[in-house]
Amino acid sequence: MWSKLTQFPFVRELDGFDFEAQPSLDRGQIRELATCRWIAHGDTVLFLWPPGTGKTHLAVSLGREEIRQNYNVQFVTAAMSQCWPRPTTTAR
């Protein structure tokens, strides 16, 4: 049900993430993100790593945790954001 509501491409959980395959990631920092305190502080999280490094897995698993904590979640990829209308300005 969650993945349908948020349009997640698949179901993933943080416990299933292979931190051994990504040794540069700070496991504690990712666990801290899962507490969702960053949302209460009005912060934004953006994962910028090369393809195949687990960005989507982390985004989906953190999104599912946010839903469990009663936050609204919107899943957006960089490709999807290209379809959004851009703000317009008028030169004077």
pLDDT in tens, 42-81: 998 888 888 889 999 999 999 999 999 999 888 887 776 6
On whether residue 64 sits in a domain, the answer given is: yes
Number of domains in the chain: 1
Would 86 be classed as within a structural domain? no
Domain carrying residue 67? 2-81
Residue 10: the pLDDT is 87
16 in any annotated domain = yes
| Ramachandran category for residue 48: left, alpha or beta (phi over 0 → left; psi -120 to 50 → alpha) | beta
CATH (domain of 54): 3.40.50.300
Q: What is the pTM of this model?
A: 0.77
The torsion angles phi and psi of 28, rounded to 5 degrees, stand at -65, -35
How many C-beta atoms surround the C-beta of residue 14 within 10 A? 18
**Rounded mean pLDDT of the chain?**
84
Mind listing the pLDDT tens digit for each residue in 13-29?
A: 999 999 999 898 999 99
- In angstroms, rounded to a whole number, what is the distance separating the alpha carbons of residues 11 and 1? 10
Q: Is residue 33 a part of any domain in this protein?
A: yes
